[in-house]
Structure 1
Amino acid sequence: MGVIEGKWKVSILWALGEGACRFGRLRRMLPGITEKVLASHLRELERDGMVTREEFAETVPKVEYSLTGPGIALNRALEPLGDWGKRHLLGG
């Protein structure tokens, strides 16, 4: 449970479930998250082996974040929780 501790970690994992993306895109996908919190949570998720950070050596350096195998498995494990929330909390 410590891996998903924090208000935004599950949302970050679900956003990355759509595919690899850069920091700015992640921030836009998660309205209300601050840059500081996003950066901190990404570092923690990377440390816990759920997210990988890939740097591309280009003229303008680029960094992309994506889920690792365990991160994908965690997302799958969280799907029933998301479904429950949609049914019981969002009235869907």
Structure 2
Amino acid sequence: MAEQHFLKYNDAGSWIQDYAMILSMCKEVPWYLDDGTSRVFVIGARGASSLALTVGSEVFEESGRSLVRGTLDYLQGLKMLGVKRTERVLPAGTPLTVVGEV
């Protein structure tokens, strides 16, 4: 997930921090469930409901603005701060309940 963070000028005459989602992408690596007796490969797990993923990494990259771009943004009432990228993961050992067919 990637979010563009910025300051915007409001009607009260002050700058407030806000963000907009610019990218939401899911990638899934092949994985399997193992109960000690056999192994079952899992396909399409990202469609699961109530799957609580933890933050694996979070990086903020500051905007590399040119003078012209910064001026144009400012005239529109914006100050670009940067992009925050967040990766979420399902930690190994997480207990799961699975319903499906073999």
Fold match by TM threshold 0.5: no
Structure having the higher helix fraction is 1
TM-score (normalizing by structure 1): 0.29
RCO higher in structure (CA 8 A, sep ≥6): 2
Structure having the higher strand fraction is 2
